Structure formats: structure tokens, C-alpha cells
Amino acid sequence: MPVTAVIGAQWGDEGKGKYVDILAQDAHVVARFNGGNNAGHTVINELGTFKLHLLPSGVFNPKATCIIGPGVVLDLAGIAEEINTLDKAGVPLKGRLFISPRCHLVMPYHRVLDRLYESAKGHLSTGTTGRGIGPTYADKAGYNGLRLADLQRRTLFIEKLSTQVSIKNRLIGALGGEPMDADKIADEYFEYFRILQPFIKETFGLLQDAVKSNQNVLLEGAQATLLDTDWGTYPFVTGSSTLVSAATPGLGIPPRAIDRIVGVCKAYTTRVGNGPMPTELTDETGDRIRKIGREYGTSTGRPRRCGWLDAELVRFTAALNGFTELALSLLDVLDTFHEVKIATGYEWGGQKAHYFDGDAVFLEECQPVYESLPGWEKDIRGVNRWSDLPRGAVNYIERIEQVTGVPVSMIGTGPDRRETIIR
């Protein structure tokens, strides 16, 4: 590797879990550095199908050390459930999963406030998952957060929690919600702390030692570039930075240590929730992509909005992150189309704009400029050799490389890790 980062190149749900699972087979360390359980990734392997939200996808390599860094916000019930599920499936994690005590905690009042804020905003709502991630990061930035380490000091935790519940109950009441009970929350969280205590360990030294000894380290980003708080389609974004640069504060790893940056994008475009999406198709074609690709959110089950590949968008995210390569997922979803399209720019106010503008108004009003390519109309499910791809599929991939300026190194032709072309 030795240090490889995997980053979403679109609005999330690109299939990062599969590529992390593939790359993790050679990794000594796999580390998650941002987001919370609003992010979901599906891993399909010989043990079955697993939908993970907090655990790194590399947990399925029994030799890999798995790290959840301080940039992640923890839902304790969620992480405890995932650990238990994997344990029952024959994937024990004791001794190789380590959670930073610096992680901030998603509290019950964060989830309540998330939903109340969304309801209060009406048609201006951002379409969050309702899992409390934004309010948790807001408390972190505002010095009001509770961290995993706080649970080690019972009296101090109860004092901090009581203060926050008192403040939050005023907000909840003003928004029409029911007050929360600090004692009940404390009991619940101390029980989860007891369950998770074997996994809690300062992770900085683990990563530093791995990098210094030239071990293979895999950095797993949650969500995707266009959900970044600064570079995404604000306000329709997430509560944390989603760029590769977030790995530095999210794990304590120096930027120059990262050698390889893999951007993951679908062969088309999808988005969950509200916000602009220039290539969205609200017609039969969009429905067809959704049906074939089974485009429903891992975290929420919501139907994803679907459209043709926005290659200009990917060119933008590649420049932001410095992608060294692309992993193209779900190419097989386009098998039955007579014609496929790629957006290579935008038209707005009679002018052509060959750049991705993060301004939500621009993206709502602009029209994508498409190039049409012949489809391949051949079943490529399970193809794992470049030479076996039909000419139409090869042309499509090569055009993506030309527009984005980034080589495609991996191509997904199905959900299983074996259904992958590695060039």
C-alpha cells in the first residue's frame, strides 16, 4: 500500500464498503476517521451479507487491526450491536478492534433534536437521517460534547450529562418535544461502556507505529466528498469533513504519510435526501436505474435519487482529494441500456460552465451537458477480466478517465468481492 485512503467521489453510497473489503485483505491496519452511524456500507463475502455503520469494513480480515479514530462520533447502542452481530457470525473482534477514547458520543437528545430541527424547518429541511450526527458535531464544536473517555469518571460524567440535559430540555421543549431523563440516560450509557470497555484504547500510538514500520494501512472515509461541510452542496451536507484531508485530525496521521487515494464512484449518480443533483432523472430511466441497482439507503431504506454519471462532478472531487485512481462500481447496472450518457459540464443562463459549482442555487438551475455513448447491451455480471468486457463498456470507462483525468483501476461487475476487475 503502504497508506491508502478510500474516499467517496459523489454523494455517498458509491460502494466503498466493497473496495475497502478488497483492499483490506492485504492491510495490517484499517482505520475509520469520520462520520457516525448515518453512514452505511454493505459487505458481501463468504460469511454472508453485512450492513455496517460504524465498524470499518476491514473487520473481515482476521489479521487486520481495526481502529475507530477520534473523528468518528459514536452511537454506543449501534456499535455494541454491530460487534455482537459479527461475534455471532464468527468474526470476533476482541484484541483487534480499538476505539479511541477521544470519540464524541451521540446522545439521545441529539437524535431528538435532529428530528425536531428537521420538522421545524419544513420545506427547507436538509433530509438528514435523523440519527443525531449533526447535533453531535455541533456540540463538539461548541465545547458541549461528551466523549467516550468521560465515562471513565462516573461522577464527572453524570455532572456533565445533567448540565447538558438541562440545556437540551429547554430546546426540546421550545420545539414541542418531551423532556429527557438524565438518570435514565446515564444508566444506559454506563452499561454500554461496560460492554465496550475491552475495545477502548488510545489509537494514536497504534497508527504512528504502523506508519513508521511501513505496514499496510487502509484509511476508510465515510459518506462522500460532496457531503463535506465546506466543499459539499451546503446546507445539504453532513456534520463532518469527508475529504481525505479529514484523516489527519480524524486519526492523527500526517498528510504526507498518505501515498494512495482511491476515489470510489458509481457508473451513474445517486443521492439520498434533499439537495441539488444536476443529472437526476425523474422519468422512467431514473426508475429503471433504481430498480436494477436496488438503490435504497443502507441507513434509512429511503429510495435513492438516480441519474446519469456526472463526470464533471467527479473531476471536481478528484481535484479536491488528489485521487490517484478511481474504483468504478455497479457498471453491470447499465447492461441493458441501448445508450448511456455522461455529463461533461453544465449550462446556466445561456453560458456553458465546465466546472462544478457548490452553490446550491446554481446546481438547482443549471442543465447538464451530456455526451451520449452506445451501450453494450450484454450481461457483464461477474466479469473479472478487463479483456472480457464488451467494447461499449470499455469505451465508457475510457471516456470517464478522459473527462476526470484519473485512471480507473477497479471495476465492479456485481456486489461480491470476486465480481471485480482489477487492472
412 is in an annotated binding site: yes
75 is in an annotated binding site: no
Please state, in angstroms and rounded to a whole number, the distance separating the CA atoms of residues 343 and 172.
44
Residue 373 has a CB neighbour count (10 Å cut-off) of 17
41 is in an annotated binding site: yes
302 is in an annotated binding site: yes
Question: Using CA atoms in the order 106, 108, 110, 115, what is the torsion angle rounded to 10 degrees?
Answer: 130
413 is in an annotated binding site: yes
13 is in an annotated binding site: yes
Active site residues: 13, 41
38 is in an annotated binding site: yes
| Cβ neighbours of residue 392 closer than 8 Å, sequence gap 6 or more | 340, 373, 374, 375, 376, 377, 378
301 is in an annotated binding site: yes
The stretches of 175-231 forming alpha helices (DSSP H) are 182-196, 204-212
- Identify the DSSP state of 51: E
12 torsion bin: left (phi>0), alpha (psi -120 to 50), beta (else): left
Please state, in angstroms and rounded to a whole number, the distance separating the CA atoms of residues 55 and 68.
7
* Helix, strand, coil % over all residues of the chain, rounded to 5: 40, 20, 40
130 is in an annotated binding site: no
16 is in an annotated binding site: yes
Please state, in angstroms and rounded to a whole number, the distance separating the CA atoms of residues 134 and 140.
10
42 is in an annotated binding site: yes
330 is in an annotated binding site: yes
223 is in an annotated binding site: yes
39 is in an annotated binding site: yes
Question: Using CA atoms in the order 281, 303, 237, 367, what is the torsion angle rounded to 10 degrees?
Answer: 0
Q: Which amino acid is at 292?
A: I
- Identify the DSSP state of 29: E
15 is in an annotated binding site: yes
The alpha-carbon radius of gyration of the chain (Å, integer) is 22
Q: Based on the number of CB atoms within 10 Å of its own CB, is 112 exposed (0-12), middle (13-18) or buried (19 or more)?
A: buried
12 is in an annotated binding site: yes
40 is in an annotated binding site: yes
Per DSSP (E only), the strands in 11-77 are 29-32, 41-45, 48-52, 65-68, 73-74
187 is in an annotated binding site: no
Binding site: residue ranges? Answer: 12-18, 38-42, 129, 223, 238, 298-304, 330-332, 412-414
Binding site for Mg(2+): residue ranges? Answer: 13, 40
Binding site for IMP: residue ranges? Answer: 13-16, 38-41, 129, 223, 238, 302
Binding site for GTP: residue ranges? Answer: 12-18, 40-42, 304, 330-332, 412-414
Binding site for substrate: residue ranges? Answer: 298-304
